[in-house]
Chain A
Amino acid sequence: MSTATRSTIQSIADNVFPEHVTRNAAPAPLYHEAIGTDHAIITSSGGIATRSGEKTGRRSNSSTTSLTCTSWMDSPAGIPTTG
């Protein structure tokens, strides 16, 4: 897990999130939304199925972005440099 400066996170977030927000929706309306926008389907057991896109597992270390040195693996002191 890498860490980033506050300004970097804010600049990323500010650019990608739309204004419309639905808060704490229950499963049924989330099913409705997922069918409409996630290409989800309701399975015969009642669960909802969809795809995660290109990435189907956690990122490997090689694709992890390291914005600042903070994890025990790359910090000699084993102590985060922020927080």
Chain B
Amino acid sequence: MDGFAGWDPDNRLRIRIICSRPYHALFMRNMLIRPSAGELANFKDPDYVIYNAGQNKADPSIEGVGSDTCVALNFGASEMVILGTEYAGEMKKGVFTIMNYLMPKKGVLSMHCSANEGDSNDVSLFFGLSGTGKTTLSADPRRALIGDDEHCWTDKGIFNIEGGCYAKCIDLSREKEPEIFDAIRFGSVLENTIQDERTHEVDYSDSTITENTRASYPIEFIDNAKVPCIGDHPKHIIFLTCDAFGVLPPVSRLTPEQAMYHFISGYTAKVAGTEVGVTEPQATFSACYGAAFLVWHPTKYAEQLAARMKQHGSDAWLVNTGWSGGGFGVGSRMPLKYTRAIIDAIHSGELANVHYHTDPVFGVAIPDSCPGVPAKILEPRKTWKDEAAFDVAAKDLAKKFHDNFETYADQASNAIRNAGPTI
């Protein structure tokens, strides 16, 4: 299967997928940018070839191969081989890793984020690890979708790397996520979902195989997708985190230094039930909200992000889509309607014009009010029954931030180091 990575013709790669499972071919037909008939006829030699032989296990006896799963990438030979795993997402993340290698060398910033655009061509980027809401929040009926996962920022603006979306679909419903629900039609690939044997109707609530059920579809299956998937320089940079400790505010405004601190930290939390072996909330830090796909040191990406944000006056926000009123098991997940209201208020400009106060631990600016969101929810400490317990949890999370940032401290400026939480 041949396709392109990157909607910007000046920064486009020709990718060839060689695979043994038909569903992998269809998946990458969805996820790459589909060439026209003319482009396909003149495709020539690809820039990179991905060999997916995931049905075959790797040989651990080969030096350096530690298990029967192997995802190997050779930048010199422009080749990638997948063995021992048939999870389709490995292919698209392989392409992303290639872009994360090549683009920064050209002064182009590659980013693990979704993007959408308002009526006045105002672009927002949503950074976040898997499960924090990148796909869900970027699918907004009032804004055009540019892409749900991988983008680049050039001197001209942003472009999507992919030609499709790969949405989580556990508990998917038309009521909650109509754009995604309706995108699943002929041509879409459903991975690890359970269907009724008689009707072939998908039971999106069934996690028998995995919580990580997925749907892949071409981006034009989203009704308000913007094709070609390019946009202006971002007006808003939104960092999404799913804080299972119930400590971070649902929304806060970041200074440029705080933005860099949180971008390099890349905090979210895993919760019990979604991953084998996880029995209580675990803080997870993934640099640039995508450490697994980075090739260069995180500060290389952070410096480019800082420079571009400064040049184009982008505002930075930290949005917690996780727990409120206590941590996992005590509090409850932030209702999606409140998170959507927060995002709406950012886009409308209303949230920029309210009063703010400073969080004593994390130092971020918390709004006193937000249209469509109860004021009490905006201040996490007030949502806890036991405020002393909140203070302990907040300090504990702050320490985790500090401990994690030690890895990068030697390459970060004083201003960025000091933008972290206070212990």
Q: Which residue of A lies closest to B221 (CB)?
A: A47
Q: Which residue of A lies closest to B217 (CB)?
A: A47
Contact status B85-A59, CB under 8 Å: yes
Most buried by A among B1, B87, B88, B215: B87
What is the minimal beta-carbon distance from B11 to any residue of chain A, in angstroms? 18
A-B contact count (CB 8 A): 226
Contact status A46-B1, CB under 8 Å: no
Interface presence of B164 (CB below 8 A): no
Given A12-B53, A65-B65, A83-B76, the answer on whether A58 and B292 have CB atoms closer than 8 Å is: yes
Return the CB mask of B200-226 against A: 1 if under 8 Å, else 0. 111000000110100101000000000
Contact status A4-B73, CB under 8 Å: yes
Contact status A46-B185, CB under 8 Å: yes
Size of the B side of the interface (Cβ < 8 Å), in residues, is 76
Binds A, one of B188-196, B230-238, B371-379, B382-390: B188-196
Using a CB-CB cutoff of 8 Å, which residues 29-67 of chain A contact chain B?
A: 30-31, 33-34, 37-38, 40-59, 61-67
Most buried by A among B73, B87, B88, B298: B73
Given A72-B296, A83-B101, the answer on whether A43 and B74 have CB atoms closer than 8 Å is: no
Binds A, one of B20-28, B241-249, B359-367: B20-28
Interface presence of B55 (CB below 8 A): yes
> Which residue of A12, A80, A83 contacts B81 across the interface (Cβ within 8 Å)?
A12
> Which residue of B21, B101, B215 contacts A47 across the interface (Cβ within 8 Å)?
B215
What is the minimal beta-carbon distance from B91 to any residue of chain A, in angstroms? 11
Given A12-B53, A17-B18, A65-B58, the answer on whether A5 and B74 have CB atoms closer than 8 Å is: yes
Residues of A contacting B291 with CB < 8 Å?
Answer: 73
Residues of B contacting A72 with CB < 8 Å?
Answer: 294-298
Given A6-B76, A37-B21, A44-B199, the answer on whether A1 and B65 have CB atoms closer than 8 Å is: no
Residues of A contacting B89 with CB < 8 Å?
Answer: 57-58
Residues of A contacting B185 with CB < 8 Å?
Answer: 45-47
Contact status A13-B51, CB under 8 Å: yes
Residues of B contacting A54 with CB < 8 Å?
Answer: 85-86
Contact status A30-B58, CB under 8 Å: no
Return the CB mask of B41-78 against A: 1 if under 8 Å, else 0. 00000000001011110100011111101111111110
> Which residue of A16, A47, A80 contacts B189 across the interface (Cβ within 8 Å)?
A47
Interface presence of B227 (CB below 8 A): no
Residues of B contacting A63 with CB < 8 Å?
Answer: 66-67, 69
Contact status A55-B85, CB under 8 Å: yes
B contact set with A: CB distance below 8 Å = 1-2, 18, 20-23, 25-26, 29, 40, 51, 53-56, 58, 62-67, 69-77, 79-81, 83-90, 93-94, 97, 101, 184-193, 195, 199-202, 209-210, 212, 215, 217, 291-298, 300
Given contacts A49-B193, A50-B189, A67-B72, 4 further A-B contacts (CB under 8 A): A1-B93, A13-B51, A16-B20, A27-B186
